[in-house]
Structure 1
Amino acid sequence: MAKDHAPQFHQDHSDFPQIDRQATLQADRLVELARLQPLTDGGLRTSELLSEALANAPHHHDARILLERLHQMFVPRWHFPMLADKVRNRAFAEAIAAKVGPGDIVLDIGCGAGLTAMLAARAGARHVYTCEQQPLIARAAVRVIEENGLGDRITVIPKPSHELVVGVDLPAPADVVISEIVDTVLLGEGALATLVHAMRRLARPDARAIPEQGRLMAQPVDSDKLLALWRPGQAEGFDLGAFHHFASVAQITPNDLSAVGLRPLGPATDLFHFDFIRPDMRPGRTTRDLACSSAGTLHAVFVFFEMDLGPGISLTNDLSSDGHWGRTAFLLDRPICAAPGDLLRLTAQHDTSQLSLSVQGFASCTGDPDLPFLWMSHAASSCPPRPDCRAVLTA
C-alpha cells in the first residue's frame, strides 16, 4: 500500500515470549513489504503479504488495520447487504431456475461472491463462465464456489466482460446471459454498455437474458424530514441556506428511507424503458407530467426502477419495497403546495450511464410547457403562500 498514506505504528515486543517476538518481527517485515507494494494488481500481493503476517502473528495491529483498509478500498461495502437481500436472491433463483436448462452455456457478468453463477449451475447449466474484474473478489469467489462443490462446473474469469473473447475465454457463445450490474436508477454501473457488448459479441442471437427489461419511474413526494436531512436550514442559530445547492440529488439509504417517511402525492409515471435482451446505446429524453392526486407539500421527485427478471418475476426499489437497494430523490429547490389535479411537468434525460432531471412547473396552470420553473435558493419546510400557480412560477 502507498507508504505515504499507510498508518505508521510501532509495536512494543519486549513483553512477548521469545517465540512470539520472533513471529512478530517476521510479521513486521512482511507488513513493511506490504506497504511498498504497488496496487496495480488490484491488491492481490499486498493481501498475500498481510495475510502471511497475520498467520505469523494473529494479533498484529498494523497488519489488521492495513488489511481492513485494503478490503474497504477494493471490495465495495454494498456487496454484503446485497448478499443478505432475501427478496433479491429468491427472485434471481426463480428466474434462473426458469430460464437455464441442461446443456446451456451461461455467461454470468459480475461474479461477486459467485451466487448467481452457483444458482445457474444448480439449475442444470452445462457450464457457467463468470467474470469478475476485481482480483481479490475473483479469488474469493473461486474459494466460495469450490467450497460449495461446484468448482468443476463454474469457471471464474478475472476480467471485465468487455475483454472476454469467444473461443478464448468461452468455448462458444452463451445461451444465457445473467447480470446484476444495476444501481438505484439502473444505469450507474454501465449496465447498458456492458450488455450491448455481451449480447452482440458473447451470446447467441437467440440468447436469453436475466434480467429481461427494466423501467425507470418518477413520482412526486412529500417529506419535510427528507429536506431536514439533506438541507438543514440552520445549525446553532446560523443560516446554512447558501450550502443547499450542493444537495440537489438525495441518495437515500434503506435506513434513511424508513426515517424520512416519503409520502407519495400521486401515482408513478414511466420515464424510460430498457430492453436488456436487445439493448442499445441511444440516449433518451422525455417530458412527462406527474399527476398529484393528494394535497401536500411537494419536496422532491422520487425515481425508482422496476426490473423484470423473467415471466412473472420482478424486482423494484419503489417506496413500498424492502431490500438492499438505496433510493434516489431529486430535490426541488423550493417546496411548494400541491393540490389534487396538479400536473408537475419535468424533463428527464439519460446518456445510457447517467440520469438527469429538471422540473419546469405545473403544466395545468402555466399553459406554456416551455416556461421554466424558477425556484428560490432557500428551501422552506412548509408550503409558501400560493394565491395562484403563476405567482409561484415567477417568485
Structure 2
Amino acid sequence: MTERHSAEPAQNFHGDGAQDADTLVQRAKSQTLDDGGLRTSQLLGDALALDPQHHEAQVLQERLHQMFVPRWHFPMLADTARNRAYAQAIAAKVQPGDVVLDIGCGAGLTAMLAARAGAKHVYTCEQQPLIAQAATRLIAENGLSDRITVIPKWSHEITVGTDIPERADVVISEIVDTVLLGEGALATLTHAMSALAKPDARAVPEWGTLKAQLVESSGLLDQWRPHQAEGFDLSAFHRFARVAQLTPGEFAACGLRSLGPAAELFQFDFTRPDLTPERTATDLTCAAAGTIHAVLVSFELQLAPGIQVANGMDAGGHWGRTAFLLDRAEAAAPGDRLPVTAQHDTSHLSVSANGPLIPAGEAAAATVWLNPAWRLRRPVRDGGDRTAPPPAAWSPADTGGAGLPGQPCH
C-alpha cells in the first residue's frame, strides 16, 4: 500500500495571509488599466506584502511591469558612458538659478543631474504613471524633492502658469530611438522649445545626425533571413524582414563588417526643430571588397559642444542598431557605389537601394559625357589585332568656344 502524505489545508498553503492576498489578487485582475496600472500595481503590491510567495501575484506584477515600463530603461541606466556624457553636458549647459524642463523623466537621473548642476528648480514630465510614481519616490530618497517636481503628464499637455510657473531656461531630453525619430522627438521638442521655453533657451542635446554605410554580415542574414529549415525553403518569408532592429547583444553576435565610410543622410537641430519631411538620394561607397548585405543607419548626438554620444559601428553602450536589408546581396569591389534613397516624415525613416551597384570608375566617365566640352575617345586599332596605345581618355572638343567647363549642360 502506497503511503500518502497529506499537505497542509489548501486555505493555509500560502501562509496566514493567503485568503486576503487571494482577494487582493482577484480585485487586481478586475481593475481596468486606464490609470496606467497604478491601482492594479497597488493591489498586487499589497497582496505580496501579505504573502511574498503568492505565485499569481508575482506573475501578474511582472507582466504589469513589462507592459508599462519598457525594458530598455535598465540597460540605459547602466550605461556609464551615456550617463557621464549627459552629466558633463548638463553641467556645461545649466547655470545657477536656471529653470529646467526635463522631458521624459524615466528614473529621474537627468533631472537630478540638472539639480546638482545648480538649477533653481527642475520640472520633469513623465506620461507613464507607474514610472512617474517611482521617479517621485527615487527623487525623494535622494533628498531632492524640494528642487524637482515630477509632472505626470505628456509634455504637450503642460501649460505655463499652471504646471510650471515660467518658461524654461534649459530643455533636457533623451527621447530618441536608434534612428532619432521613433519616439516623436522632433514634434515634442518643436512644441517644447516654442511653447515652454524662453526664446534663447539652451537644449541638451543640441543636434543629431543620421548616417548610413554599407555592411557585410552573413550572421545578420542567418538571423533575419534564414534560407532553409529542415530542408524546407524559407525564402518566401523573407519579405517580412526588411528592417533589422538589433539589440547590442545581437549586433555583436552578427559580426557586422563595415565596407565603407558612413555618409550623412539628415541633420536635426533640436534647439530649433523643423517638422518638414525630407528625402535625400546619395551613393554609399565601398572602400573594401566584400558582399553588401545591408545598409546600417547610425546616429551622432551632440549634447553640448565637444560632448557626443553615438551608436555607430565602434560605439558601445546600451544603444541598439537599425539595419535595412538589401533584397539581394551585392558582391562589391573597392570604389563601387550603391545608390540609396532615404526619407523621413519626422517620425519614421525609410531607406531603400536604387538599382544596381555602380562599378568603380563608371561615374567618372558619365560625368565627362555630361559635359560637351570634353569627349571620350575609343581605343584606336592600327589595322591588326593589337590595340594601339590610346590617347588621353578625354581631350578638348572643338566646340568653337561653346560649352566651357563648369557651365551646366541640359
Structure 2-normalised TM-score? 0.85
How many angstroms does 1:303 deviate by?
0.3
Matched, 1:297 2:291: yes
Change (3 A) 1:89 1:330: same
Change (3 A) 1:63 1:295: same
- Equivalence for 1:378: none
**Distance in structure 2 (CA, Å) of the matches to 1:127 and 1:363:** 57
- Equivalence for 2:162: 168
**Distance in structure 2 (CA, Å) of the matches to 1:352 and 1:142:** 32
Alignment of 1:180-329 (within 5 A): 180-329=174-323
Structure 1-normalised TM-score? 0.88
Matched, 1:362 2:345: no
Change (3 A) 1:154 1:88: same
Question: AA paired with 1:332?
Answer: L
Question: AA paired with 2:110?
Answer: T
Alpha-carbon displacement from aligned partner over 1:119-145 (angstroms, at most 9, x marks no partner): 000000000000000000000000110
**Distance in structure 2 (CA, Å) of the matches to 1:67 and 1:25:** 18
Matched, 1:92 2:86: yes
Q: Over alpha carbons, which structure has the higher Rg?
A: 2
Match of 2:325 among 331, 334, 340: 331
Matched, 1:345 2:339: yes
Where does the alignment leave 5 or more consecutive residues of structure 2 unmatched? 1-6, 368-410
How many angstroms does 1:353 deviate by?
0.3
How many angstroms does 1:280 deviate by?
1.2
Instruction: Assess if the C-alpha contact under 8 Å between 1:284 and 1:349 holds in 2.
Output: yes
Change (3 A) 1:270 1:49: same
Report the secondary structure of 2:17's partner residue. Answer: helix
Instruction: Assess if the C-alpha contact under 8 Å between 2:297 and 2:323 holds in 1.
Output: yes
| Identity %, equivalent residues | 66
Report the secondary structure of 2:221's partner residue. Answer: helix
Instruction: Assess if the C-alpha contact under 8 Å between 1:287 and 1:345 holds in 2.
Output: yes
**Distance in structure 2 (CA, Å) of the matches to 1:304 and 1:368:** 31
Report the secondary structure of 1:352's partner residue. Answer: coil
How many angstroms does 1:252 deviate by?
1.0
Instruction: Assess if the C-alpha contact under 8 Å between 2:169 and 2:202 holds in 1.
Output: yes
- Equivalence for 2:65: 71
Structure 1, 53-62 or 133-142: larger mean CA deviation? 53-62
**Distance in structure 2 (CA, Å) of the matches to 1:56 and 1:173:** 46
Report the secondary structure of 2:40's partner residue. Answer: helix
How many angstroms does 1:363 deviate by?
4.1
The higher-RCO structure (CA 8 Å, 6+ apart) is: 1
- Equivalence for 1:55: 49
Alpha-carbon displacement from aligned partner over 1:361-392 (angstroms, at most 9, x marks no partner): 334558999xxxxxxxxxxxxxxxxxxxxxxx
- Equivalence for 2:404: none
Question: AA paired with 2:342?
Answer: A
Match of 1:145 among 139, 142, 147: 139
Instruction: Assess if the C-alpha contact under 8 Å between 1:13 and 1:24 holds in 2.
Output: no
Match of 2:128 among 113, 124, 134: 134
Where does the alignment leave 5 or more consecutive residues of structure 1 unmatched? 1-11, 370-395
How many angstroms does 1:55 deviate by?
1.0
Report the secondary structure of 2:179's partner residue. Answer: coil
Change (3 A) 1:368 1:111: farther
Question: AA paired with 2:83?
Answer: N
Report the secondary structure of 1:138's partner residue. Answer: helix
**Distance in structure 2 (CA, Å) of the matches to 1:214 and 1:245:** 31
- Equivalence for 1:23: 17
Instruction: Assess if the C-alpha contact under 8 Å between 2:11 and 2:19 holds in 1.
Output: no
Change (3 A) 1:130 1:99: same
How many angstroms does 1:157 deviate by?
0.3
Question: AA paired with 1:287?
Answer: A
Report the secondary structure of 2:176's partner residue. Answer: coil
**Distance in structure 1 (CA, Å) of the matches to 2:15 and 2:300:** 58
**Distance in structure 1 (CA, Å) of the matches to 2:46 and 2:145:** 25
Question: AA paired with 1:14?
Answer: P
Change (3 A) 1:246 1:111: same
How many angstroms does 1:15 deviate by?
6.2
- Equivalence for 1:155: 149
Instruction: Assess if the C-alpha contact under 8 Å between 1:317 and 1:326 holds in 2.
Output: yes
How many angstroms does 1:16 deviate by?
7.0
Alpha-carbon displacement from aligned partner over 1:206-235 (angstroms, at most 9, x marks no partner): 000000000000000111111111111111
**Distance in structure 1 (CA, Å) of the matches to 2:42 and 2:186:** 35
